[in-house]
Amino acid sequence: MQQSNSQMRTGALSRLCSRWMRRLGMACVGLGVMAASATAGAATLTIGGKNFTEQLILSEMTAQYLRSKGYDVELKNGLGSVVMRQGMESHQLDIVWEYTGTSLIVYNKVTEKLDPQQTYERVKALDGKIGLVWLNPSTLNNTYAFAMPGKIAREEGVETVSQLVEKFRADPKMQFAFDMEFVGRSDGLEPMEKLYGFHLERRNIKQMDPGLVYTALKNEQIDAGLVYTSDGRNKGFDLKVLADDKGFFPAYAATPVVRQEVLDANPKLADELNALSAKINDENMRDMNAKVDIDHQAVSRVASDFLKQEGLVQ
């Protein structure tokens, strides 16, 4: 009986200590969060990214960069444009990299032709009304373009979209490849057909993942396809990017966009993201895209190497 009482006292003491340790553990965790929050705010920052290489790099880079600054970060990428926008508006996402032309035309339904600076100022004002803050734009302009296999374009002397349209009129069986979004977007295929005076039937269109368009062009499986001007595969796969001679595609300056209440809770965040944005341009993004898509380097490695090279992290 004496031994039993001793065991009971020992068990009770053990449970008491366990409860205190759990409380102390929670306190330590809380202190850790508070320490990080001295600069980074208490809440986790959720970064969104779209479903193509450049966006995967930008979102991963931003996550690594902000973690190095002491922020608690969650990354949600692989999203479509509309889903990502809804995530910002519903407060499920806090930070994204968006393109000025996408916000202007797709989200805000502006049809007026604007130059790059006017485009930025307009989307900054319109999105600001719903609590989405456009920070300083990078000099990366990832607009759309039509491309052809380089060898064929050189042989046939095709330099512009207008010349491509003339080629299509002579050969209406040509095959064009587009990603899923472009065919249905308000700044997509239909208004471009109207401007350039042509029409593609369903038999002329192949819809596929953006990355597969480049492979199909490289292998001459299609006659022309929609590409991004900042993609490293344009050069790596010897593709001819055609001049948009009628100026259909607007500017698509990549810019960090943050919810206003997130900026209010994290006073240093805007300056930190502006410092990152200032380092990104057409040339280095083409190089990073090529490292992932052609050299098959991991997105996380490419993002990390860039941050170190630019002195943004140690």
**198 plus 275 within the same structural domain:** no
**127 plus 260 within the same structural domain:** yes
Q: For residue 22, is it within any domain?
A: no
**Boundary residue ending a domain (210, 241, 272):** 241
**46 plus 191 within the same structural domain:** no
CA 106 from centre of chain: 15
**155 plus 121 within the same structural domain:** no
- What pLDDT band is residue 185 in, cutting at 50, 70 and 90? confident
**46 plus 137 within the same structural domain:** yes
Question: pLDDT digits over 13-44, tens only?
Answer: 344 333 333 333 333 333 233 333 334 445 89
Instruction: Please state the rounded mean pLDDT for residues 154-178.
Output: 97
pLDDT at residue 180 in the model: 85
- Per residue in 260-279, is it b (16+ CB within 10 Å) or e — as a string? eebbebbeebbebbeebbeb
Helices 53-68 and 299-309: crossing angle in degrees, nearest 10, is: 50
Instruction: Please state the rounded mean pLDDT for residues 242-269.
Output: 96
293 contacts 233 by C-beta, under 8 angstroms: yes
pLDDT for 5 beyond 80 = no
Q: For residue 112, is it within any domain?
A: yes
**132 plus 49 within the same structural domain:** yes
pLDDT at residue 1 in the model: 38
pLDDT for 94 beyond 90 = yes
**148 plus 137 within the same structural domain:** no
The rounded distance, in Å, linking the Cα atoms of 230 and 57 is 13
225 beta partners: 147, 177
Q: For residue 269, is it within any domain?
A: yes
Helices (H) and strands (E) in the chain, counts: 15, 10
CATH number reported for the structural domain that contains residue 166 in this entry? 3.40.190.120
Instruction: Please state the rounded mean pLDDT for residues 43-70.
Output: 97
pLDDT for 234 beyond 50 = yes
**Boundary residue ending a domain (241, 272, 294):** 241
**Boundary residue ending a domain (212, 241, 270):** 241
Q: For residue 35, is it within any domain?
A: no
pLDDT for 209 beyond 60 = yes
Enclosing domain of residue 271: 41-141+253-309
Q: For residue 23, is it within any domain?
A: no
**172 plus 191 within the same structural domain:** yes
Instruction: Please state the rounded mean pLDDT for residues 105-113.
Output: 91
Instruction: Please state the rounded mean pLDDT for residues 186-213.
Output: 93
**111 plus 165 within the same structural domain:** no
**155 plus 235 within the same structural domain:** yes
DSSP 24-54: HHHHHHHHHHHHHHHHH-SSPEEEEEESSHH
Angle formed at CA 279 by CA 43 and CA 301, multiple of 5 degrees: 70
Measured between its terminal Cα atoms, the distance across the chain in Å is 64
Q: Is 70 helix (H, G, I), strand (E, B) or coil?
A: coil
pLDDT at residue 42 in the model: 52
Give Dmax (Cα) for the chain: 103
- What pLDDT band is residue 263 in, cutting at 50, 70 and 90? very high
**231 plus 167 within the same structural domain:** yes
- What pLDDT band is residue 4 in, cutting at 50, 70 and 90? very low
Q: For residue 46, is it within any domain?
A: yes
CATH number reported for the structural domain that contains residue 130 in this entry? 3.40.190.10
**78 plus 133 within the same structural domain:** yes
Percent of the chain residues past pLDDT 70, beyond the cut: 86
Q: For residue 29, is it within any domain?
A: no
Q: For residue 123, is it within any domain?
A: yes
Total of domains in the chain:
2
Percent of the chain residues past pLDDT 90, beyond the cut: 79
pLDDT at residue 18 in the model: 39
Dig out the tokens for 18 from the structure: 């366990």
